[in-house]
Copies of this chain bind each other. A is one copy, B any other.
């Protein structure tokens, strides 16, 4: 009984997944009257941020998006401190009508102050989808919003908006903005067939079990919420707990009676036990030392590494049928797609104002 060499899982680069969105962005750009302008704000001397800023510039130039890199603080001069002037730069871009999107290179001050800064960016220009309004909509499975509410300074969510299924927004409403990285993961899973197009929109991950390792507010928690709102059974893993995100009650014999959005349950299984039943494993642990144990994976599962470091062992494809080592190329296209949407929302609101 010979071992077939092709038994190793597929190592899949993000390029073919990014290609479809590159085309979408390119063709939408052709229909734009005004070339969209993205402002990047770099205020630290951190090498990864600098690298990401250059990557953004290259992607924008390739596609025909105007990109302006505004440097402040330590990025501008050695005499300045890390983060100096970043808030002012955001506020300036917020009110500059020629600017359609703002991208701030985090981390800057640490989680708490960075979270504050994320809320300073006008939701109308928040290409990364980090504003509380967008997170609230995501967690509550609210898929559409009225564009003018993106100008309101209050972060309180609008009360009247309810969950509406369907891909097309109702009259007067537009799609909410979804955080780039979780959205990129969803697009990768759509490409990989984890989302089943035969199932109704909003429930296409039904029947799939996904483990998401990381529960940060930027990646892991919104991703677990997105996937479970789309019907998946999701295990959310962080350093000291495992939770189950699921809109269906697991114990019931009737899975049709589900909640309009995911409910979080405590999970009493171990990581080894949940990996044994997971069709998909997404890891986003910002540590070079963290590795998912290959032996614990279900044979034929799909593994996505979302961290800058490699969170999977070298032999991951001994168990995984498909391994995607990085999703950055898809993430940047989600960001540009958000930019084009926001530019359009800005138009809608401006026209509305002018006609009143």
Contact = CB atoms under 8 A, between A and B. Distances in A.
Interface of A: 1-10, 12, 165, 192-193, 196-200, 203, 206-208, 231, 233, 248, 250, 253-260, 277, 279, 294-295, 298-302, 315, 317-319, 321-322
A203 B6 contact: yes
B256 A3 contact: yes
A199 B10 contact: yes
Nearest to A254: B318
Given A2-B260, A207-B298, A318 B198 contact: no
A258 B299 CA distance: 11
Contact of A193 (B196, B231, B299): B196
B6 A321 contact: no
A321 B200 CA distance: 10
A321 B199 contact: yes
Contacts of A3: 256-258
Given A193-B193, A208-B300, A319 B200 contact: no
A313 to B, nearest CB: 10
Contact of A198 (B192, B198, B233, B295): B192
Nearest to A16: B198
A61 to B, nearest CB: 31
18 contacts: A2-B260, A3-B257, A6-B200, A7-B248, A7-B256, A7-B257, A9-B256, A10-B198, A10-B199, A10-B200, A199-B322, A207-B298, A207-B301, A233-B300, A248-B299, A250-B299, A253-B318, A254-B318
Contacts of A255: 7, 299-300, 318-319
A101 B1 CA distance: 37
A318 to B, nearest CB: 4
Contacts of A231: 300, 321
Contacts of A206: 299-300, 321
Contacts of A319: 253-255
Contact of A318 (B10, B208, B256, B302): B256
A128 B52 CA distance: 59
Nearest to A276: B277
Given A207-B279, A254-B315, 14 more contacts: A1-B260, A2-B260, A4-B260, A6-B203, A10-B200, A12-B198, A192-B196, A193-B198, A198-B322, A199-B322, A206-B299, A207-B300, A255-B318, A256-B318
Nearest to A4: B258
A8 B255 CA distance: 8
A341 B58 CA distance: 52
Contacts of A7: 203, 248, 255-258
A281 to B, nearest CB: 12
A193 B200 contact: no
A140 B70 CA distance: 65
